[in-house]
Amino acid sequence: MPTGPVVIGVDSSTQSTKAALVDTETGALLALGRAPHTVGGAEGARETDPEEWWTALTRAVADALRQSAVPPAAVTGIAVAGQQHGLVVLDAAGRPLRRALLWNDTRSAPQAAALTDALGSPGAWLARTGSVPVASMTAAKWQWLREIEPRTAAGAAAVRLPHDFLTERLCGTAVTDPGDASGTCWYDTGRAAYDHELLALLGLDPALLPAVAPTGGTRVGTLTPAAADALGLPAGVTVAAGTGDNMAAAVGLGLGGAGLLDRPVVSLGTSGTVFAATRTRPASPGIAGFAAADGSHLPLGCTLNCTLAVDRIAALLGLDREDATRGDGLVLLPYLDGERTPDLPHATGLLTGLRHATTPQALLGAAYEGAVFTVLRALDELLAACGLDPAAPSVRELPLRLIGGGARGRVWTDTVRRLSGRPVVVPAATELVALGAAALAGAAANGVDPVALATVWGAGAGRELDPVEQDEDTWQRIAGVLAHAAPTLLG
């Protein structure tokens, strides 16, 4: 039984929704409900019906309540952390006009390039939004919709991000937060406001957008009677503004922008991401200069191909994901869905170094190495964007927080350690996005700081792994192939 009030943190990710019941006094995870949703599309398209997210949210909350002995009346707050960048367009009744375009839908790559040119240069975008348009960003997706489906764009009465859509369903208020808004490329992270000149460039009426709450832990309302009935909760439950999934993970880890850089994180999930909290506002074309849920900054690098791509290679080879050995001279860049960092939206996978003696296990190991190299290369870009030398001994001594589904895999962890040569911490908590959302809910319900609350919960603590000698031969081999493989050969 809980020792204090209970909150619900919702992780609405690409393929499923999780709802965590958390004791606000101890941070104990009392139950975790789950429900899937589907992703459709081919040839670069990735779409989901937003109504599936809402159905999955209600089912995940019901599942969590069934598992636990927590009475619904004990729940005091709820917050949603959602997959970033997705484009949701609604009619005047709040119903989706079409399936949502997801973050990993690469069809908007031409629109991203055109938008960059329209403002004059990548630097112009960096100065205003902290990021350069790529296919992932919501602005590029909106521009794609305007060009390819103009009647749908013209009929939109509201434009939302995935977490905004769910928050509005919970409390009836159209609201977002600085963290998730910073992934649109129409939000100025320096002024902490929508950029109306960019909205004019995009032909997007500001009235279609939600208000921006000061932080993700801001109280924005309470459950509507309809939402309370759907969730089996009291109507008075506090609803927080919520945030994007990466921002929520940072909160769950207790990351705050207290200095130049706070604890770099490597997340191995469907995508691979690297991020860190900082008070500085970095500006680098290869890094997304996001805002954090607590008002600081959260520079982030993202690769599209991580655990899902490696699992696909394992399936093609008929191997278990843990069957891999070292790549043995192979290089496999598993760009199965294009790539974001580096920005190669039309890329395909690249394999070189095959010999008669090559084993399936070594081929799978090369897929791991290619994916980890790409993630760690993004980390080096992030460190440089924050004014740090990635090769400096003091920087190399910074422990990497390794999170996501891949952090539970032996080969993933071993490959990160071998290619990075850095100390690694694997937090004991496995549901950091949901826990971060729960901390935002607790902050909204109790008027406390969400990062401080998560720090008390201690979710960022875990198993500490000493550094091993860096495998420079493998690193340089992959770097050499990437440097000499022209984008035209990659897609």
Residue 15 has pLDDT above 70, yes or no: yes
CA geometry: angle 79, 85, 91, nearest 5 deg: 80
pLDDT in the model for residue 22:
97
Task: State the chain's mean pLDDT as an integer.
Answer: 93
pLDDT in the model for residue 486:
56
% of the chain at pLDDT higher than 70? 97
pLDDT tens digits, residue range 204-239?
Answer: 999 999 999 999 999 999 999 999 999 999 999 999
Residue 258 has pLDDT above 70, yes or no: no
pLDDT tens digits, residue range 358-383?
Answer: 999 999 999 999 999 999 999 999 99
pLDDT in the model for residue 343:
76
pLDDT in the model for residue 490:
52
Structure confidence at residue 1 as a pLDDT band (50, 70, 90): low
Give the fold, CATH level 3, of 6-246. Answer: Nucleotidyltransferase; domain 5 (3.30.420)
Contacts of residue 433, Cβ cutoff 8 Å, sequence gap at least 6 = 9, 11, 13, 18, 81, 245, 248, 249, 252
Distance CA 376, CA 273 (A): 9
pLDDT in the model for residue 487:
55
CATH superfamily of 254-427+461-491: ATPase, nucleotide binding domain (3.30.420.40)
What amino acid positions are annotated as catalytic residues? 245
pLDDT in the model for residue 372:
97
Residue 491 has pLDDT above 70, yes or no: no
% of the chain at pLDDT higher than 90? 78
- Locate the domains of the chain by residue range: 6-246, 254-427+461-491
Mean pLDDT for the stretch of residues 47-74: 96
Q: How many CA atoms lie within 13 A of 287 on its CB side?
A: 27
Contacts of residue 241, Cβ cutoff 8 Å, sequence gap at least 6 = 79, 167, 175, 176, 177, 213, 215, 216, 217, 218, 220, 440, 444
Residue 481 has pLDDT above 60, yes or no: yes
CA geometry: angle 60, 65, 68, nearest 5 deg: 125
Mean pLDDT for the stretch of residues 136-163: 97
Is residue 298 within 8 A of residue 290, CB to CB? The reply is yes
Distance CA 444, CA 421 (A): 40
Structure confidence at residue 414 as a pLDDT band (50, 70, 90): very high
pLDDT tens digits, residue range 402-413?
Answer: 998 899 999 999
Burial class (CB in 10 A: 0-12, 13-18, 19+), 45: middle
Is residue 21 within 8 A of residue 64, CB to CB? The reply is yes
CA distances from 422 to 23, 263, 264 (A): 34, 13, 11
Mean pLDDT for the stretch of residues 302-324: 95
User: In CATH terms, are 6-246 and 254-427+461-491 the same topology?
Assistant: yes
Residue 433 has pLDDT above 80, yes or no: yes
Is residue 64 within 8 A of residue 231, CB to CB? The reply is no
Is residue 467 within 8 A of residue 416, CB to CB? The reply is no
Structure pTM?
0.88
Mean pLDDT for the stretch of residues 152-171: 98
pLDDT in the model for residue 170:
98
